[in-house]
Amino acid sequence: MKRKMLPWFALLWAGIQTAGSQTASEALRLSTSRPEATARAMAMGSAFSAVGADYTAVAVNPAGVAFYRKGDATIGLKLQHTATEATLQSPTGINAPYGKDRNKLAIEALGLVGVIEPRNFNWSTLNVSIQMHRIADFSQGVHYVGTGTGSITDRFLERSLDPEGQGLEGIHPDDLDPFEAGLAFEAGALYDLGSDPDKYIYHTDLLDHPGFQLEREQRLKLNHGLHEISFNVGGLYREWLALGAGIQVPVGSFSSRSEYFEREDVAGALAPFRSLRFDSELTTHVAGVGIKAGLIVRPLPFLRLGASLQSPYALVLRDKYSTALEYTFVLRGADTTISVQSPDGEFKYNLYTPWKAVMSGALVLPYGLITFDADWYDPRNATYRLTTHSDVPGDSNLQGQVNADIGKQYKPVWQYRMGAELALGHLRLRGGHQWLEQPYRNATGWDKVLSFGLGYRANRFYLDLAYALSQYEQSLAPYLTGESDFNGDGQVDAVIPLVDQEIERTQFMITLGWKL
């Protein structure tokens, strides 16, 4: 028999594309964040870091703060609509897509710039800024219904097996984890068939129905918000070289709630199994620190070239989680339902994100701007530290396993952004495009974002509006397994179900600012 053991808290959430928990997918989420603090930059594809005098530009390249000539205050609001169409994969291809929409309105940015007149005549400006802006938002709703093979009870069974045992021999019931296999044992979804009091031979109702099909449904609600508070200082030397540096403090919390169902597709076909419901909740609180430094040069009056480097974020994460299971089966000719609830779990750990580099350019023309940004980072360099706050022996092994998974799944990434602005008196017309390389090792595609907007510039205030549209595809799994072969026939019994998602994200942003 082929079987693989999986750490429960490392993989419970990994397959549902959600925030939190110690997984390669979550390390990627926290490694791909990028500031987008103003509607002006958003309309121009966020290709703005060489221009300066803008809160997005400063957030990417702190040297941009040097180009402010007056004090500045700003506030930004964003409305985001995410539409997800999800289809459960099936060998027969008969499952229909299901749609789910999420809307979110939130403050996107707050900022304040102070301008200081330096006493050294070689320096034109010496400015400081403090700002808060969102750097990641993955809020999403997912709903699907369909039929397919495999059951989450396969995962529960894998979680019960003794790594040193033979066949379906498992560990003592008292040693089953209280969030998955332990719940399944209490609810009757997992039970002992062994006659030897010193051995435990675990079984599930669905093992008696090889190749079975059942109906599967999931409702998944994700809320993911990560903000950054940054403190920046920069100066402009002889009007041709801007230097800047800043300290960034990322803070935020993620929450996820999943309601997962399995039901018999034909009444009585999978007896004694009738149905199950597995609920899971997770909240992750994040705090950390990082630094950025950059420069912008003006070799010609109309040309600006920039470069910035961001250190890894040193993040501290705290997960709080719980699960619940409701299992219905036939007992003595009657349907019986047992419901159980896990204790509240908590785990604290660290994550270090990879270094990032940004190179940028801008043509500052009499009637507008043409801009370009190129970002590079290597998500393989994200690293978990699970033993910093824990002395549990298994956490060291899990740390090595998850970090190895990160190295295997991803590749270095380039992201390209271009934008343009046309100045017509006080009015500004803008457009932009982003080409974002997919970070997965075997992926060759690019995600694209189209944006446009307009703005108004007055002597003492400015108003900017932006619209951005992104469309992309990704897959999720309701749960993961080790793809075990329980009966030794050479075929995978613990099948991993997959759900195809088509996601369209529409964003509207408004920025209002005042010159001080």
Question: Tens of pLDDT along 276-333?
Answer: 999 999 999 999 999 999 999 999 999 999 999 999 999 999 999 999 999 999 999 8
> CA angle, 317 as apex, 311 and 323 as ends, to 5°?
150
Q: What is the pLDDT of residue 296?
A: 98
Strand pairing partners for 102?
82
Question: What's the rounded mean pLDDT across residues 253-276?
Answer: 93
Question: Which tokens hold the place of 299?
Answer: 């070799």
What is the pTM assigned to this prediction?
Answer: 0.88
pLDDT at 374 over 80: yes
Dihedral pair phi/psi, residue 60, rounded to 5°: -90, -45
Distance (Å) of CA 311 to CA 358, 378, 380: 12, 12, 15
Q: Which of 495, 447, 470 is nearest to 42 (CA)?
A: 470
Q: Give per-residue pLDDT as tens, 214-236.
A: 999 999 998 878 999 999 999 99
pLDDT at 10 over 50: no
Q: What DSSP character marks residue 354?
A: P
Q: What is the pLDDT of residue 16?
A: 37
- 292 vs 2: which has the higher pLDDT: 292
pLDDT at 18 over 50: no
pLDDT band at 26 (very low <50, low <70, confident <90, very high): confident
Q: What is the pLDDT of residue 21?
A: 64
Any alpha helices (H) in 223-378, and if so which ranges?
none
Q: What is the pLDDT of residue 426?
A: 97
- 15 vs 85: which has the higher pLDDT: 85
95-120 per-residue burial string, b: 16 or more CB within 10 A, e: under 16: beebebebeeeeebbbbebebeeeee
Q: Give per-residue pLDDT as tens, 440-472.
A: 998 888 999 999 999 999 999 999 999 999 998
Distance (Å) of CA 418 to CA 370, 371, 428, 454: 8, 6, 17, 16
Is the distance from CB of 131 to CB of 233 less than 8 angstroms? no
Question: What's the rounded mean pLDDT across residues 57-78?
Answer: 97
Could you identify the residue written with the tokens 């495009």? 433
> Percent of the chain having pLDDT more than 90?
75
As to burial, measured by CB atoms within 10 angstroms (0-12 exposed, 13-18 middle, 19+ buried), residue 200 is buried
Q: What is the pLDDT of residue 395?
A: 83
Q: What is the pLDDT of residue 163?
A: 86
Q: Which of 78, 98, 77 is nearest to 87 (CA)?
A: 98
Q: What DSSP character marks residue 50?
A: T
- 219 alpha carbon, distance to own chain's centre: 18
pLDDT at 54 over 90: yes
pLDDT at 8 over 70: no
pLDDT at 150 over 60: yes
Strand pairing partners for 88?
499
